[in-house]
Amino acid sequence: MKLIKASEARKQWFRLLDDALRGEVIAVERKGQRVLLQRQENSRSTRAKDSINYRKLLKVPRADDADRWSWDWQPDHGLKMRKRFR
């Protein structure tokens, strides 16, 4: 584990990130307290479970055309989708 003061870490931030990505644990110390910088390993199964399917979340027709529509608020009906004019 590498111990470094916060003022030095600021100057060498990108080098420290590279070291952490290579597997080294780095402790950055400021005012007597330490923060650890280390790489987090993610397995493929964890990433697959955590990913969100935004197509199902949005629940709007033609989500692929999202850049062509917007929303309007209507007090009686709530949010209504409307087509944008270019």
Q: How many percent of the chain have pLDDT more than 70? A: 67
Can you point out the beta strands (E) in the chain? Answer: 2-5, 26-30, 33-37, 69-74, 78-83
How many separate domains does the chain show?
A: 1
Range of the domain at 24: 2-37
The CB-side HSE value for 23 (13 A sphere, CA atoms) comes to 0
34, amino acid identity:
R
In a domain, 60, yes or no: no
Instruction: Give me the pLDDT at residue 25, please.
Output: 94
pLDDT tens track for 24-59: 999 999 999 999 999 988 766 555 566 677 666 666
Q: Is there a domain that residue 8 lies in?
A: yes
